[in-house]
Amino acid sequence: MKTINLIFGCHAHQPVGNFDFVFERAYRECYRPFLDVLEHFPGVQVTMHFTGPLLDWFEHAAPDFLDRLAALVSSGQIEMMGGGYYEPLLCAIPERDALRQIERMHLYCEKRFGAKVRGMWLTERVWEPQMAHILAKSGIEYTPLDDAHFLCSGLEPEQMFGYYMTEDEGFTVKVFPILERLRYLVPFHQVEETITWLNDQATESGTRCAVLHDDYEKFGVWPGTNKSVYKEGWLEHFFQALTENKDWLHSVTYSQYLDANTALGRTYIPCASYDEMMTWALPTAMQRELVRAREKLRQSPDLHQRCARFMRGGFWRSFLSKYEESNNIQKRMLRTSTRLDRLRREMPASEMLDEAEKMLHQGQCNCAYWHGVFGGLYLNHLRTALYEKIIASDALMDAVEVRDTAQSRFVAVDFDADGNLEGILENDHIALFFKPSDGGTLFEFDYKPQPFNFGNVLTRREEVYHDQLRHGGVLVGEESGGDLSIHDLVKAKEKDLDKLLVYDPWRRVSLRDRFIANTASADSLWSGLEPELGSFARHPYTMSGKDGQISLEAYGTIAGTAGGLLHLQKNVKLPRGESCFDVTYTIHFDCALPSDILFGVELAVNFLTGNAPDRYLWSEHIKVDDGRLGVRGELPATKHLAARDDWQRLELAFSFLPPARVFRFPLDTVSQSEDGQERVHQGCILLPCWNLPGDGKEFTIDFRVMASRLID
């Protein structure tokens, strides 16, 4: 009799910083009803992986769910799988943190479920060869990867039914191929189609194994699936089919299969992830070319079957060059990790460092480090959560480290690994990060007492899926029937998103120096159509610094002048132990300047939403008619302007000397999500401007942070 083994696994995850109502909805519509059905089919074996953010949420919101899981683990129906506790990408974090994250999950599973884990879920199935070494050192015996990984290594599709050995420096780990065909069948096609396909793969030897392991959320959270999977009974029908066909279709866990079968051989897997991830990692223009080439190849089915595996995208680390903001979070995390490692060696028994490590690990949660069909990096609340954890970890280390942390410190370092030095100015309240090679800009502005990065702004960029909005044919606000994967849906959450497809000429950060015509408007600045009259916006600046201050200067030209250079210098002073700093600009020009030119300084700030009434601009000196952060407009000359967040009880105030005319406009992106394309507020730009030469040659901007106890 022909038989086959089926490993059915679920990976459940919610990001650090996701809204509580998202956790609650996923629990109500997916996690709990799945278990309700599973408990009625004791013959169905399932391997489950839950990430740390979910386990933490269950502990305080639904501990009975964990009790039910523990009972199913005890009965042998569920095998628990480990992983990095807060779902980090192992390729993006130091090995020391990878080992500690995996150990954190080991200890939790042993304590909560009484189970010693043998395998682990590899975040987003992002594989690099050194991971065999890391997993083996962690005591991990196996991990599932996509069949795309194995096809890239030279194996054939018919060789995907079992497991292989791979190694690094002689450290071995067992790797299982997850079958793409099953990922796309389940739960979007009729159960009979899946059973028929499995029957076609069965053999007389009975040693073959088909692995179906995918997101738990596709069973109730993905669009339309709660209706199809539960209300229409897809999952119950599937489990019933597995039970009725158990004579030839054997439901097993990974460990059960490993204990009864040997490896199919040894293989070496290149840097890879699932096919969609490798496509998303490519630069936009190249991604578009790959998509078109694949579409053309599909016109020749035979050729497509033979050649598709060789048409690969990039690999995960490419996101760090594709998105400067992704690289920023990762390098900020690495800086904190390096500091923690040093202090661990100096103070191994410190309990405060244990808490700092937990915060760091939470700040390594992968979702906001990249972007694909899920919002990821584009979701400002997820980026905010990572910065919050990383900054909080640093603040704890400030309290532990034996030094005068109130002192303002300066260091020059290649922070972002681009070959150029950046400057970091820091005290116990504020950390400021400057990039001389990109206009002498301020690209991160951390506030430690209430951990927050005011400069957490995302630049507006072109994405391949924007083509769908330009060309029409997008469903607006319609619910899927659950028969389409999120990879196949083309939807939008609101009309006229195409009008927001505006792309920035540079990274949106603070202290970018602009020279523009005095006829400029908020609309022309928002659209990027306002001509730049100076050469300073992206010009390299020279940097010098010492404790408490940093100086940045450059020579450049202005359009419309007869010749000569303009010298611009900005001096930043961060007082000892204060939540404020000031920037003084000095401009020297020997040539005659046009009479209609404005000098402006871009200030970028993000309070997460542009239209909430509790996030707004206000001034001590002028009336701000509509203070919402998402409004475009111009404010008359003022000495003071503040961005206030009553929800977080934070305020960032600016004082201008002499008074400045201020342009304002929001940064809204159009991004892809599992529910369709959507508008996301990424921050706002304030552009204080002065007339040249009418307002003089020296300008000062004072930045001051006020937190809960200081706000009325």
Question: In this structure, are residues 60 and 226 in contact, taking their beta carbons and an 8 Å threshold?
Answer: no
Within 10 A of 94 (CB to CB), how many other CB atoms are there? Answer: 16
Q: For 576-604, give one letter per residue: b (16+ CB within 10 A) or e.
A: eebbbbbbbbebebeeebeeebbbbbbbb
> Which of 338, 541, 327, 332 has the alpha carbon at shortest distance from 418?
327
Q: Is 64 a catalytic residue?
A: no
User: How far apart (Å, rounded) are the C-alpha atoms in residues 225 and 484?
Assistant: 9
- Strands (DSSP E) along 266-421, which ranges? 409-413
Q: Which of 29, 87, 97, 124 is catalytic?
A: 124
- Residues contacting 105, CB < 8 A, separation 6+: 52, 82, 83, 84, 85, 117, 120
Q: Which of 168, 180, 215, 532 is catalytic?
A: 215
Question: In this structure, are residues 478 and 646 in contact, taking their beta carbons and an 8 Å threshold?
Answer: no
Q: How far is CA 706 from CA 145, 160, 427, 641, 652, in A?
A: 48, 59, 16, 13, 7
User: How far apart (Å, rounded) are the C-alpha atoms in residues 388 and 376?
Assistant: 16
Q: Is 478 a catalytic residue?
A: no
Backbone φ/ψ region at 388: left (φ over 0), alpha (ψ -120 to 50), beta: alpha
- Residues contacting 297, CB < 8 A, separation 6+: 303, 304, 307, 308, 311
440's enclosing H/E stretch is: none
Question: In this structure, are residues 389 and 360 in contact, taking their beta carbons and an 8 Å threshold?
Answer: yes
Q: Is 494 helix (H, G, I), strand (E, B) or coil?
A: coil
Question: In this structure, are residues 667 and 508 in contact, taking their beta carbons and an 8 Å threshold?
Answer: yes
Question: In this structure, are residues 609 and 381 in contact, taking their beta carbons and an 8 Å threshold?
Answer: no
User: How far apart (Å, rounded) are the C-alpha atoms in residues 622 and 613?
Assistant: 19
3-state secondary structure 388-426: HHHHHHHHHHHHHCCCCCCCCEEEEECCCCCCCCEEEEE
- Strands (DSSP E) along 512-649, which ranges? 512-517, 542-546, 549-556, 566-573, 580-589, 597-605, 615-618, 633-645
List the structure tokens of 301: 């089915």
319's enclosing H/E stretch is: helix 319-322
- Residues contacting 12, CB < 8 A, separation 6+: 31, 48, 49, 50, 51, 54, 215, 216, 217
Catalytic residues: 124, 215
